[in-house]
Amino acid sequence: MMGGARPDGPDIVTQALPDVSRETLARLEALVALLVRWQRIKNLVAPSTLDTVWQRHVLDSLQIVRLAPKARRWIDLGSGAGFPGIVVATSLAEADGAAIHLVEANGRKSAFLRTAARELGLPVTVHPARIEDVAGRLEPAFDVVTARALASLPKLLALMQPLMRPHTQALLHKGADFEAEVAEARTGFAFDLVEHESLSDPAARILQIGGIVPLSADRNRS
């Protein structure tokens, strides 16, 4: 818990993000309730994180929407139990043109995502497949690509590259060792980077990335 003072709950979100609408907050409460019910038999998230689900999962996911306020077409890679993708969808449920694609190969997790999208009325498409199999066949030009607790940054850049267009940005959750991951990624890729301090963990960062180019290709053009 941030500062060890506040109990975990919806207030964690509203204090950090005061502009969150009542409608979004209601959908988030319904999502958490659904997660808790499914968790009893499906083990969707680490059990140790349930006591801090609003900070560790909900706030951590929702904060990225403020970094791309005009984005409507999102794709979340390795969605797991829907963090951040299904949480992003709760905030865009009433936005014109919103379309959030969730890629998750695990059967029980993709089933949860479909149920959550249906019950909460979210503009979500679930792809129960491997990322490599989906990235090459999706036609939409996405505004944002997201991933959380999925892979190291070099591997993520390779996975995301087929989905990136000149206007597309990636918003990636990274922990306290993000600097080492960025340094390693720069040995294989050129990319634009803006670091944002996480609202849920001051030691972590949201990496906003665009212009991904493999260095071998970049050198061949020079």
Q: What are the average pLDDT values for consecutive 10-residue runs of the chain, which has 222 residues?
A: 64 96 97 94 86 94 97 96 97 96 95 97 96 82 94 94 93 95 96 96 96 73 45
Instruction: Quote the pLDDT of residue 108.
Output: 93
pLDDT digits (tens, 9 = 90+) for 84-131: 999 999 999 999 999 999 999 999 999 999 999 999 999 999 999 999
Instruction: Quote the pLDDT of residue 41.
Output: 85
The residue to which tokens 């990624």 are assigned: 185
In sequence order, what are the beta bridge partners of 194? 208
Topology of domain 63-221, CATH: Rossmann fold (3.40.50)
Instruction: Quote the pLDDT of residue 6.
Output: 63
Q: What are phi and psi of 175, to 5 degrees?
A: -85, -160
Alpha helices in 161-198 (DSSP H): 178-185
Instruction: Quote the pLDDT of residue 135.
Output: 81
Instruction: Quote the pLDDT of residue 170.
Output: 98
Helices (H) and strands (E) in the chain, counts: 10, 7
